[in-house]
C-alpha cells in the first residue's frame, strides 16, 4: 500500500511541477532517475554534474539524451552547440 501512495504522490508532484519536493525526495531515497528528471528543470546544473550523472545507472533513452544536450549547452564551451546537436541526433536514433 505504501508503494502505491508513493507512486501516486510522485505522479501528482510531477504533474504539478513540484520539482523542489521531487528533488528532496530523490536525494533522500537516492533515486537518481527522479533527480535527473527534476534537477534539469530547476535547473541545478552543479548538483546534476557532481552528484547525479556520475552515479546514475540509466539506460540510454531520448529523455536522457535531451538532458545531456541541455547540459552540453550549459557548459558554454566552444563545441557546446555542436555537441548538443550530436547528442540530440543520437537520441532521435534511439
The per-residue pLDDT for range 7-65, each reduced to its tens digit, is 999 999 999 999 999 999 999 999 988 988 898 888 788 888 788 877 777 777 777 77
- CA 82 to chain centroid, in Å, comes to 21
Residue written as grid cell 540530440: 88
Q: For residue 60, what is the DSSP state?
A: -
Q: Distance between CA atoms of 33 and 19, rounded to whole angstroms?
A: 13
Check whether 73 has a pLDDT greater than 80.
no
Cβ atoms of 19 and 44 closer than 8 Å: no
Tell me the pTM: 0.72
Amino acid at each position: 500500500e505504501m508503494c502505491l501512495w508513493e507512486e501516486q504522490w510522485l505522479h501528482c508532484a510531477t504533474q504539478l511541477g513540484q520539482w523542489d519536493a521531487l528533488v528532496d525526495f530523490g536525494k533522500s531515497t537516492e533515486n537518481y532517475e527522479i533527480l535527473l528528471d527534476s534537477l534539469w528543470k530547476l535547473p541545478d546544473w552543479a548538483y546534476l554534474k557532481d552528484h547525479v550523472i556520475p552515479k546514475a545507472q540509466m539506460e540510454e533513452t531520448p529523455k536522457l539524451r535531451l538532458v545531456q544536450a541541455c547540459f552540453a549547452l550549459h557548459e558554454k564551451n566552444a563545441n557546446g552547440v555542436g555537441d548538443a546537436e550530436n547528442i540530440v541526433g543520437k537520441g532521435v536514433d534511439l
